[in-house]
């Protein structure tokens, strides 16, 4: 399952993308506006910083800003950064198919099902989400 943390991360990036580039937002502001626990926002932002997706300036009037083009990050990437590799079944986490024949017939089905899912998530960028949210208002 895709965790709430991954979902939060996507929401946070979308929020950042919806601000004029160059301007900063505080983590508290994001937490309040998107109803995400403030400490989780901070925790997730630290991962995003590691990825060089965001940068933060401290002190009064500080905050976070996006330093990557939001059309360059898709949902799959964000999920995998936060949750680790995606696998709809344990089978797909191991590289090697297992011995049992029936099991291995299954593997192909799992892989196809998962790829169908991932292709949707890969096709949606943070920019797409920010634009869609804006048009909703």
Partner DNA sequence: TTATAATTAACTTGATTGGTTATATTATAT
Partner DNA sequence: ATATAATATAACCAATCAAGTTAATTATAA
- Using rule CB under 8 A, residue 24 touches its own copies: no
In the shown chain, the binding pattern of residues 30 to 49 toward its own copies, with x for contact by CB under 8 A and - for none, equals ----xx--------------
The number of residues that bind its own copies (CB under 8 A) is 40
- Give long-range contacts, CB 8 A cutoff, 24+ apart: 54-61: 54/16, 56/24, 57/24
By beta-carbon proximity to its own copies, the closer residue of 36 and 63 is: 36
By beta-carbon proximity to its own copies, the closer residue of 57 and 115 is: 115
The distance of closest approach from Cβ of residue 73 to its own copies in the complex, given in angstroms and rounded to an integer, is 14
Q: How many CB atoms lie within 10 A of CB 38?
A: 14
What does the longest C-alpha to C-alpha distance in the chain come to? 62
Q: Give the closest residue to 75 by CA, choosing from 128, 26, 35, 25.
A: 128
One residue of 85, 103, 125, 127 binding its own copies per CB under 8 A: 103
């Amino acid at each position: 399952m895709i965790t709430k943390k991954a979902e939060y991360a996507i929401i946070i990036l979308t929020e950042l993308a919806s601000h004029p580039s160059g301007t900063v937002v505080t983590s508290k502001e994001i937490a309040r506006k998107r109803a995400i626990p403030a400490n989780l926002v901070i925790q997730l932002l630290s991962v995003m910083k590691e990825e060089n997706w965001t940068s933060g300036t401290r002190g009064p009037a500080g905050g976070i800003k996006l330093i990557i083009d939001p059309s360059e990050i898709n949902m799959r990437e964000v999920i995998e950064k936060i949750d680790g590799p995606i696998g709809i079944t344990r089978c797909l986490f191991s590289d090697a198919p297992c011995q049992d024949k029936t099991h291995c017939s299954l593997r192909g089905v799992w892989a196809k099902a998962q790829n169908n899912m991932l292709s949707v998530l890969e096709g949606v960028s943070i920019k797409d989400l920010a634009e869609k949210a804006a048009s909703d208002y």
